[in-house]
Amino acid sequence: MNRFGIIRFSSDSVIFLNLTSDVEEAMNIAETLPYDSGENTNIFSGFNLAAKIFKNDGRIDVPLVALLITDGQANIGGDPTPAADELKSFGVNLFTIGVGVGAEATTDLHIWASSPNCMFYYSLNGYLQLASVFPELLNVQICGVSAVVPINQTSIPGVVEKDQSLFYQVPANLSTGLTIKLDINEGAAIIYVSLTSRLPSSADYDFVSNATENNPGHIYISPNQLQNAQSSSFIFISDFVKLEKSEATVFIAIVGISDLTNFTLDYEPHNNLVTIAPAEISTTAGISINIPGSPFTGILLSILVHF
């Protein structure tokens, strides 16, 4: 079930709506948010308050989404960059939207946004565009987010229904490789893994494994496979070398086969497979990816300051 929250701030941050599954209430509050014409924009405070809400009430097994909307540049409260980094390290997909033609409306928003910028950072001409065109575009992008595993987290419990897909992003060290294991407590599932596609599926994946109660799903991705995938995402290999990246992002989809599947997703560096024999791909028909049906938790950070 989706949950929503709303934070509004200028000089300081205020929770206008705690996390709730009441869509109508969230819409009503969002549409009637008061506009503050003051000159202070405390984005740092807003990020910190959002982080507290996510840490206290968020779930790591569903995508966490924060949507920052501002028409002013951060000018009090400290540098928002560390606070934005903390949000993202906790697994939050951070969208940033600058409103207005002034350069100050979009300064640093691309730095705070999650990667890639083409998906998470937007610059709009005005609030008319925000209200008329942007919602449909944003809806498509939010449907494409996955649960970003927090730093130092190596195990994720979850429940998936038949034909439902749950999406995750996990970090992988380029020098050690990555072992992924799907333990099934009840039911059965297929795990699809991709090094390039944010939403792996039966039509778009690099690795696949079946998982049942008696036979966990195992996948090992070698350092060479990770490095080749990272290199192919850059036009020039020299650009990749300059970045000196030590980690890659691996995208995972878990698709339920049984009516209800309880699972634990584990990942760790190195090759820790019990066996490297590939599992047979299920011939179960009718598996579909139902992205909009997958739950997420979202917070709207509305930073409306006239400049």
- Over residues 231-253, the pLDDT tens digits come to 655 433 333 444 456 788 899 99
pLDDT band at 286 (very low <50, low <70, confident <90, very high): very low
- pTM here is 0.61
pLDDT band at 72 (very low <50, low <70, confident <90, very high): confident
| Cα separation, 117 vs 107, whole angstroms | 14
Q: Is there a single domain that holds both residue 45 and residue 102?
A: yes
| Cα separation, 201 vs 26, whole angstroms | 32
pLDDT band at 289 (very low <50, low <70, confident <90, very high): very low
156 within a domain of the structure (yes/no):
no
Q: Is there a single domain that holds both residue 107 and residue 133?
A: yes
Q: Is there a single domain that holds both residue 200 and residue 181?
A: yes
| Cα separation, 261 vs 159, whole angstroms | 6
Q: What is the pLDDT of residues 79-130, one digit of tens each?
A: 999 999 999 888 888 999 888 765 455 678 889 998 877 778 888 877 777 7
Q: Concatenate the DSSP letters of all residues of 154-211 into one string.
A: -EEEEEEEBT-EEEEEEEEETTTBEEEEEEEEESEEEEEEESS-SS-BTTB-SEEEEE
CA 90 to chain CA mean position, Å? 10
Q: Write out the residue range of the structural domain in which residue 96 sits.
A: 3-147+295-303
Q: Is there a single domain that holds both residue 189 and residue 231?
A: yes
Number of structural domains in the chain: 2
Contact of 83 with 68, CB cutoff 8 Å: no
- Whether residue 171 is predicted with pLDDT greater than 60 in this model: the reply is yes
Please give the C-alpha separations between residue 123 and each of 70, 134, 217, 269, in angstroms, as whole numbers.
10, 10, 42, 38
**3-state class percentages of the chain: helix first, strand second, coil last, to nearest 5:** 25, 35, 35
- Whether residue 274 is predicted with pLDDT greater than 50 in this model: the reply is no
The pLDDT assigned to 304 comes to 41
| Cα separation, 284 vs 148, whole angstroms | 28
- Residue 108 sits in a domain of what CATH number? 3.40.50.410
Q: Is there a single domain that holds both residue 69 and residue 193?
A: no
Tell me the percentage of the chain whose pLDDT exceeds 90: 30
Work out the mean pLDDT of the chain and round it to a whole number: 79
The overall longest dimension of the chain from CA atoms, in Å, is: 63
The pLDDT assigned to 108 comes to 86
Q: What is the pLDDT of residues 189-234, one digit of tens each?
A: 999 999 988 889 998 999 999 999 999 999 999 999 998 887 655 4
For 227, half-sphere exposure in the C-beta direction (CA atoms, 13 angstrom radius) is 11
Angle, CA of 130, 12 and 122, to the nearest 5°: 25
